[in-house]
Amino acid sequence: MKTERKDDERTGGNYPYYPLSNCLLVADEVKALGGDKTPVSKSLLASSLKEDERAQTISFKLASAKSFGLIEGRSSFVLTETAKRYYFPTDESDRQNALLDFLEYPPAFKKLIDRFDGSKIPPTEILANILLREANVPQSWKDRAAIFFIKSAQSVSAIDEQGHLRVKASREGRISSVVPTNELISKLSEQETDARAVGTTRQKRVAGQLNADSKTWSHSEDNRTIYLEYPRDLNAQEWQDLNQYVQRIKPEGKAK
């Protein structure tokens, strides 16, 4: 049984600001702090996640976890019934079906699933434009939302090795091996460099999910958001590659 959306402030928005793998880390903390039974305050959760309680990052993470139907609440949070099925399964299919329910919960993602389930996923540019024109995702977020959809679908084993979206088949346990996330995004995107610039990171598959041991930095001004996701154990070579990329996109003139 899927989580029912509620028309109140306990639910998340139309689309997430992070992929599902990152949001599961938030739900992990809610569970660890007893959120399956007792509401967990935002301040306690921020402390557990080592985030600034007043920073935009924690607000984005909480909103995204709610968007996926993992948690509900406003100033304090509890696990949803679907999340409880994921963390406390009573049937062999509970965890996988819960993951698929999370994927379908954001209205923008549900629209893509209804349209493409059973078919090959189109290029990320097409997905982004569909999200913009048909799912009320703003211009500034459409590309990231498209990539987050791909990463989230892959992380719950809902994409087969040919790049077909297989949500229904995955519920029935009838899906072949999946394509690694980065390889899939590379195939789908006509502008791989731009895709990496909006948040794709290398992550390892672990038991059908993604290891999202990463940190994020974001900056918003004048309705524009810069978003960066990077591994906590960023090494010297990775930093050098990132620095070279940043220098390539440096605008002309000096910052004010």
Structural domain includes residue 210: no
List, for the chain, all residue ranges whose pLDDT scores fall below the cut of 70.
Answer: 1-12, 174-227, 229, 232, 248, 253-256
Instruction: Provide the residue range defining the domain that includes 243.
Output: 215-248
Structural domain includes residue 228: yes
Q: For residues 62 and 111, state if they share a domain.
A: no
d(CA 188, CA 10): 34
Instruction: Find, among 99, 98, 102, 134, the residue nearest to 116 by Cα.
Output: 134
Q: For residues 58 and 76, state if they share a domain.
A: yes
Structural domain includes residue 75: yes
Q: pTM for the full model?
A: 0.68
Structural domain includes residue 15: no
Q: For residues 222 and 238, state if they share a domain.
A: yes
d(CA 171, CA 1): 12
- Residue ending a domain, choose from 38, 67, 87: 87
Identify the sign of the CA torsion 117, 120, 124, 129: negative
| Residues 6-51 pLDDT 10s | 444 444 579 999 999 999 999 999 999 999 999 999 999 999 999 9
Q: For residues 73 and 153, state if they share a domain.
A: no
Q: What is the DSSP letter of 201?
A: -
H-helix or E-strand spanning residue 214: strand 214-221
**Average pLDDT value for the chain:** 80
Q: For residues 59 and 138, state if they share a domain.
A: no
